[in-house]
Structure 1
Amino acid sequence: MTSSSASPRKALSKIACNRLQKELVEWQVNPPAGFKHRVTDNLQRWIIDVIGAAGTLYANETYQLQVDFPEHYPMEAPQQRPEDNDRYVKNCKNGRSPKETRWWFHDDKV
């Protein structure tokens, strides 16, 4: 869970609720390739499985996204932050922005 998930969220506005229900129906009718929405009873938090694309290093791997929708969605953007996001941002070297991070990937199976 994220640090933001520990704090109570405000209930969705009627507009946000209607919009998310419409988007969820669209997702079910026409799902995007490589993505699977996990059905839950919480319209405000979507759990999405992302399947790695064939022919890539991530093929056949499944990654999970958590998307939290704010009270006034779509006028406010949803969030998706990893559990350790706050600690990572706090510890960025030389006060640099996390956007300037250069990621390094190592896979022992390759």
Structure 2
Amino acid sequence: MTSSSAHLRKALSKIASNRLQKELVEWQVNPPAGFKHKVTDNLQRWIIEVNGAPGTLFANETYQLQVDFPEHYPLEAPQVIFVPPAPLHPHIYSNGHVCLDILYDSWSPAMTVNSICISILSMLSSSTAKQRPADNDRYVKNCRNGSSPKETRWWFHDDKVC
């Protein structure tokens, strides 16, 4: 078993389950623009289709996010990765890991899947170049065997590079 799937072994707490059911209902009533939740029977893993915003480098492109919710969501951030092929972006590694502070150090239980999606779309939309992070090859090599991005010690030193 990979470490990225290991955290899925523990069932959601009652609080997490109730919160996710509430978010799912809200999503169905008012989905964020540019996103589509692929319905499954697994409340703990959401697959979300992301459409690049018009007028950006990612316009007319579609990607998939995999959102895995931990046992103690929303007290703990979900794991969010792009299902390969991931977009070419300075904050997105080729293995789908996303360098975005709200998914790690700046997570708040007040955040929702909706707010995560809006942040990711904003990150994509503000990109001025289609390129991988400078350390992509080294990072991906060190993430072999399915390690989770939550096991990475991210260094958020500016808004341009991880």
Give the TM-score taking structure 2 as reference length: 0.51
Who is 1:72 aligned against? 72
Unaligned runs of 5+ in 2: 85-94, 98-137, 144-153
Question: Please, which of 71, 90, 105 is the counterpart of residue 142 of structure 2?
Answer: 90
Task: Call closer, same or farther: CA 1:19–1:89 in 2, change over 3 Å.
Answer: farther
In 2, Cα distance between equivalents of 1:98 and 1:90: 16
In 2, Cα distance between equivalents of 1:78 and 1:10: 13
Root-mean-square deviation (Å)? 2.9
Task: Call closer, same or farther: CA 1:23–1:43 in 2, change over 3 Å.
Answer: same
Equivalent pairs counted in the alignment come to 96
Who is 1:43 aligned against? 43
Question: How far apart are 1:80 and its partner, in Å?
Answer: 1.3
Task: Call closer, same or farther: CA 1:55–1:79 in 2, change over 3 Å.
Answer: same
Say which one has the larger Rg.
1
Percent identity between the two aligned chains: 71
Amino acid at match of 1:55: G
Unaligned runs of 5+ in 1: 92-96, 104-110
Question: How far apart are 1:81 and its partner, in Å?
Answer: 3.4
Amino acid at match of 2:24: L
Q: List structure 1 segments (4+ residues) > 3 angstroms apart after TM superposition.
A: 81-87, 97-103
